[in-house]
Amino acid sequence: MPVAEATGLTRRHGRYTLHVEPYDPSTDLEALEKLAVWCHRFSPLVGIDEIQPPETLLLDVGGVTSLFGGEESLIGQTRRGLQQLRLNVQMGLASTLGAAWALAHYGCGEAGQEHLAIAASDQSQASIHRLPLAALRLPARMLETLQRLGLVTIADLLPLPRGELKARFGGFLLKRLDQILDQAPEMIVPVRSAPDFEVEWCFECPTSHHNSIQLVIKQLVERLCVLLRRHQRGVLLMICDLHYQHAPSTHLEVGLFRPSIDPQHLFQLVHVQLENFRLSDFVTDISLRATSSTPLVCRQEEFVTIKGRDYKDSSRIASLVEKLSGRVGRLNVVRYILQNDAQPEMAYRAEPLIGYRPRGKTCSAVSFTPLHQPLHLLPEPLLLQVMIVDANGPPSHFQYHDQQQHVARHWGPERIETGWWRQRNVRRDYYRVETTTGQRLWIFRCLKYGSWFLHGMFG
Amino acid sequence: MHTKVRQLRQLLQEMERPVTDESQVSSGCWPLDAILPRSGFSRGSLVEWLVSDQASGAGLLALLAARQACGGSGILVIVDCGRLFYPPAAAAFQIQLDRTIVVHPVNEKDECWALDQALRCPHVSAVLAWPRRFDSRTFRRLQLAAAASGCLGLFVRPVVTQKEPSWADVRLLVTPETSRSGWRLHVKLLRCRGHIQKDFVELEIDEQTGEIHAAHPCPLVPRLACSETGSRQSQA
């Protein structure tokens, strides 16, 4: 549904407010992978559909249905579990992967069950033959050609000579047909959950002794690194949970710019946070887990310089970013990405250097000259007390820094009308003004209310 | 002579001796380079820009110096406690945002710590910040960190800190002025290592291109006259 249509719909109902997020396929895939890991409770082999965009989970339930009390019961348990996660799903169960996919997408709604289609082994072929050709997971262009030839269902395709079909449409159509009819194998590429890397320490007596706690954490870090080394994985995100005798547990989060299994380096990052950490109560046990890890890549260390190279390759920069993130917080060590947006606050976004995933569209260059926009932008525009208003320009006198400012020169206006799709319509007239003392400020008039705001200072 | 005194003298001589040209970096505008004794700033040193207000233009000059220090492939670290840095404006000044790390410390203590860490990193070319307060020990620590790594530290600070002790190699006072053409900035050299003479320059930033040029070439004439007089006196 387009955003404009959704906005209209919410306005018509009046009760709802619309929250819009930009479409991000990588986040969708990440969520689907998490759901696939969750589905391991129903099947040892869970995969994700290869069709783009991926939206289907594939579960191999061969041989496990008896553990759940039969096919119906397994389906029921799966659906209930997903409903608890507030997910409405369509499910199909059949003897082949292709048939199950086809039933889930095009077989639901039959036999009074809206979200479920099961093809019993004896009726499997018949139920599949009735399905439309789209159930074969064919490209849109091929489907269009087949429909132009008057072929609507899978049954229409079956009497046609295979040789001619291959000559006309290639081997892909026959492959899909064979897969759905159980005449060709199809594999599920499994989604595997990351192994648990967790170590813990229980104190014989609860303690608040800082040095003892540090020593234990140091040992836990070493044990965690041994565990990770066996799997040739490095830590990207590590969480240290401190459980107290009475108070609720607290945790320290350590993010890394590059994966590492160096115990000294990891402990140093924890230690930076421990310096400013206050214990809530006596500590009973400590657990340390690597919540995000990745396979280690061995590469030669840089010799002298990193000029011209990607700075992400520099171990010194990685160490600096990790230390900074550990002390001031992961979200406070960022790089900026420009965005194509006329509203100054939206013209860029910050991405944490640790644990970020590039998302959305970026813009590589700005379209204005250096003195066109200020070097300092206030997070929130500051309301100006205007003394004398000029009808055709900015105010000639206004209050700033507890001093009356007189405008000597000005440039503008530059009108910005944007943001209507965010439900925050922005209509501003921007002016660059130079005061009689030479200071340069960026002010605007809000066209909605007529008030004046300071938005930036030119360095 | 007492050994300690000799060591101290040696240390002072080392501190005052002009550094080699390889470690020099241009300030980004030639009129300013002209008043600096080594035609630029030294890598591994701190430069202070004193201003009365954030709208005084010193941030732009510091940014240009940072751009020069990075030279297209170096890494710039911006420590922005107030969260005021506006990246599109920096990009308009040819700052490579993909090679810029921005840190937002939550308090002054963290700000000093972040500055120290960034200045100490040998792969960082320049560090730009707007710190308000430093005690002398912290300032000295930052200077030593920069000297150890060869990083150029650029601090834009309020003019009220002028009376405080400084460990910066170069200290400049920037005052904006009104002009009929571009944006005029009066830059006064308050202090420079190995250079006693106080000097100033009037800069003008072009409205359209953002290029910086000298507003008044005239002050060069009195300077030349002074040097001429001085040489005559020495000959006599």
Cis peptide before A413 (omega within 30 of 0): yes
For A216-240, what is the mean pLDDT? 90
How many CB pairs lie under 8 A apart between chains A and B?
174
| In a shared domain, residues A143 and A263 | no
In contact, B95 and B78? CB cutoff 8 Å: no
**Assigned token pair, B163:** 């009376």
Please list, residue by residue across B99-130, b when 16 or more beta carbons sit within 10 angstroms of its beta carbon and e when fewer do: bbbbbbbeeeebbbbbbbbbbbbebbbbbbbb
| Cβ <8 Å between B123 and A375 | no
ipTM: 0.81
Residue A116 has pLDDT above 70, yes or no: no
Residue A186 lies in a domain: no
Per-residue pLDDT, B222? 47
How far is residue B104's CA from residue B78's CA, in Å, rounded to a whole number? 9
How far separated are the first and last CA of chain A, in Å rounded? 44
Same domain assignment for residues A275 and A424: no
Instruction: For residue A410, list chain B residues with Cβ-Cβ distance below 8 A.
Output: none
How many domains in chain A? 3
Portion 112-131 of A in contact with B at CB < 8 A? none
In angstroms and rounded to an integer, the radius of gyration of the C-alpha atoms of chain B is: 18
- Determine the pLDDT at residue A117: 64
- Of A344, A335, A285, A347, which Cα lies nearest the Cα of A310? A335
Mark A271-303 as b/e (b = at least 16 C-beta within 10 Å): ebebeebebebebbebbbbbbbbeebeeeeeee
Report the DSSP beta bridge partners of residue B188.
B173, B200
Q: What is the mean pLDDT of residues A73-90?
A: 88
CATH code: domain of residue A226? 3.30.1490.100
Same domain, A313 and A382: no
Per-residue confidence (pLDDT) for residue B114, from 0 to 100: 93
**Residue A338 contacts B, CB cutoff 8 Å:** yes
**Minimal-distance CA residue of chain A relative to B180:** A409
- Claim to verify: residue A206 and residue A250 sit in the same structural domain: yes
Q: What is the DSSP string of A272-318?
A: HHHTT---SS-EEEEEEEEEEEEE----PPP-S--TTS-GGG-HHHH
Say how far apart CA A104 and CA A88 lie, in whole Å.
13
Query: Residues B130, B157: contact at Cβ < 8 Å?
Result: yes
Question: Is A341 within a domain?
Answer: no
CB-CB under 8 Å, B124 with A320: yes
A404 CA: distance to closest CA in chain B (Å): 14
User: Does the residue A311 lie in any domain?
Assistant: yes
pLDDT of residue A304: 42
**Does any domain span residue A191?**
no
Asked if residue A383 and residue A303 are part of one domain, the reply reads no
Nearest to A447 by CA among A405, A413, A422: A413
Q: Is A375 on the interface with B (CB under 8 A)?
A: yes
Task: Kindly list the residues from chain B whose CB atom is less than 8 angstroms away from the CB atom of residue A439.
Answer: 53, 55-56, 176
CB-CB neighbors (< 8 A) of B99 in chain A: 311
Spell out which residues of chain A touch residue B177, defining contact as CB-CB under 8 Å.
438
Q: What is the pLDDT of residue B18?
A: 52
**A112 confidence band (pLDDT: 50, 70, 90):** very low
Q: Is the same domain home to A144 and A253?
A: no
User: Looking at A140-144, B57-61, B71-75, which range is the least confident one?
Assistant: B71-75
A346, part of any domain: no
Domain finish residue from A151, A180, A209: A180
Q: A175 and A226 share a domain? A: no
In a domain, A352, yes or no: no
Cis peptide before A374 (omega within 30 of 0): no
Cα distance from N-terminal residue to C-terminal residue, chain B: 37
Domain boundary among A263, A296, A326: A326
pLDDT, residue A113, reads: 52
Token pair of B100 as six digits: 């810029």
Residue window 78-107, chain B: list those with CB within 8 Å of chain A. 83-93, 97-106
Q: How many residues does chain B have?
A: 236
Cβ atoms of A318 and A306 closer than 8 Å: no
* Lowest-confidence segment of A90-94, A290-294, A310-314, B11-15 by average pLDDT: A310-314
Contact B231, B223 (CB under 8 A): no
Average pLDDT in the A57-84 region? 88
Contact present, B175 and B215 (Cβ < 8 Å): no
d(CA A429, CA A450): 10
> Any chain B CB within 8 A of the CB of A306?
yes
Considering the domain architecture, whether residues A33 and A169 belong to the same structural domain is answered as yes
Within 8 A of A336 by CB-CB distance, chain B residues are 87, 97, 100, 102
B92 CB-near residues (< 8 Å, 6+ apart): A366, A368, A369, A370, A372, A373, B210
Instruction: Please report which confidence band the pLDDT of residue B196 belongs to, taking 50, 70 and 90 as the band edges.
Output: low
Domain boundary among A148, A180, A212: A180
Contact (Cβ atoms closer than 8 angstroms) between residue A370 and residue B94: no
Nearest CB to B117; choose among A306, A323, A409:
A323
- Using pLDDT thresholds of 50, 70 and 90, give the confidence band for residue B111: very high
Write out residues 380-409 of A within 8 Å (CB-CB) of B: 401, 408-409
Q: How far is CA B206 from CA A410, A440, B185, B218, in A?
A: 15, 14, 11, 19
Specify the pLDDT at position B49: 92
Task: Name the residue in chain A with its Cα closest to that of B184.
Answer: A438
Q: Is pLDDT above 70 for A306?
A: no
Q: Is residue A419 part of a domain?
A: yes
List the single residue in B with minimal CA-CA distance to A350.
B102
* Residue, of A301 and A431, whose pLDDT is higher: A431
What is the spatial distance between Cα B59 and Cα B214, in angstroms, rounded to a whole number?
A: 18
What is the arithmetic mean of pLDDT over A166-180?
A: 88
Examine residue A25 and state whether it is found in any structural domain, yes or no: yes
Quote the CA–CA distance of B50 and B55 in Å, as a whole number: 12
Tokens of A299: 């590469």
Say if B56 is an interface residue toward chain A (CB within 8 Å). yes
Q: For residue A323, what is the nearest residue in chain B, using CA coordinates?
A: B117
> How far, in Å, CA of A427 to CA of A138, rounded?
48
Mean pLDDT of A427-434: 90
Give mean pLDDT, residues B191-202: 78
User: Which residues of chain A does B95 touch, with a Cβ-Cβ cutoff of 8 Å?
Assistant: none
Judge contact between A442 and B37, C-beta under 8 A: no
- B60 contacts in A (CB within 8 Å)? 370, 375, 458-459
A232 and A125 in one domain?
no
> Which residue, A163, A133, A137, is CA-closest to A148?
A133
Interface with B, mutate which of A328, A340, A341, A351 (most B CBs under 10 A): A328
Quick one: pLDDT at residue B230?
47
Q: Are residues A174 and A208 in the same domain?
A: no
Are residues A26 and A137 part of one domain? yes
Q: String of b and e for B156-175 (b: at least 16 CB within 10 Å)?
A: bbebebeeeebbbbbbbbbb
Examine the pLDDT at B139 and tell me if it is beyond 80.
Answer: yes
Domain extent for A114: 3-180
Note the pLDDT tens digit of each residue in A196-227.
788 999 998 989 888 899 999 999 999 999 98
% residues pLDDT > 70 (chain A): 90
Within 13 Å, how many C-alpha atoms sit on residue B140's CB side?
4
Do A150 and A250 belong to one domain? no
- Report all structural domains of chain B as residue ranges with CATH numbers, in order of start: 20-235 (3.40.50.300)
Segment A357-412, tens digit of pLDDT: 655 555 666 677 788 889 999 988 888 888 777 777 888 888 877 778 888 888 87
